[in-house]
Structure 1
Amino acid sequence: MLTRFLTEVRVKFNPFSPRSKSARLFLTLIPPNARATGMKIEAKMLPRTSKEPASLDVKFRDGKELSLDIDKMRITEVMEQVDRHSRMLARKEELSGN
């Protein structure tokens, strides 16, 4: 997963719910030095009895924000959504020569 174009990640999930697996896996895919490189990561864990769906909000370097209801998504679908815009930004960066 391309994380160098992410500036902010906000995840909200119930860690005990099996439907929150995508949220937990997404957090594991973020590199350990992400905060040191300037990425803001906010993870909110909901109480065990919460019925609120898991959600993911991602902000990219170009200002685009992506909000996903990951309660019903697999991790591959989540990665595909995030990587789609990251690849576009990588292509723009490559073409501009930066």
Structure 2
Amino acid sequence: MITRFITEVNAKFNPFSVASRSTRLFLSSLPSDARSTGMKINAKLLPQTSKETASLMVKFKDGKEMDLNGEQLGIKGIIEEVDRHSRALQKQADLTDG
């Protein structure tokens, strides 16, 4: 997964809920040095009895914001969506550099 174009990740999830699995997996797939490279990561843990649904918002360097529903997409779908936009930004950066 190309993460160098991600500037901010906001996640809200119940860590005990099965429905929040893909959100937790996405957060764990981010590189360990993401915060030191300038990425803002905000994770809000909901109480176990909460009825709120998990949410994941990813913001990119070009200003695009993606609100992703982990229950519907699953981890593969989330990574596909993020990678699709990251690859487009990578192509754009390659064209302007060379």
**Does the alignment reach a TM-score above 0.5?**
yes
Unaligned runs of 5+ in 2: none
Give me the whole-angstrom Cα distance separating, in 1, the residues matched to 2:53 and 2:72.
9
- Identical pairs, percent: 57
Aligned residue for 1:74, secondary structure, equals helix
Q: Alpha-carbon deviation of 1:69?
A: 1.8
Q: Summarize the alignment of residues 1-98 of structure 1 with structure 2, pairs less than 5 Å apart.
A: 1-97=1-97
After superposing on structure 2, the runs of 4+ consecutive aligned residues of structure 1 that deviate more than 6 Å are none
What RMSD, in angstroms, separates the aligned Cα atoms of the two structures?
1.0
Unaligned runs of 5+ in 1: none
Q: Alpha-carbon deviation of 1:71?
A: 2.5
Aligned residue for 2:62, secondary structure, equals coil
TM-score by length of 1: 0.96
TM-score by length of 2: 0.96
Q: Alpha-carbon deviation of 1:74?
A: 1.0
Number of residue-to-residue matches in the alignment: 98
Give me the whole-angstrom Cα distance separating, in 1, the residues matched to 2:44 and 2:59.
17
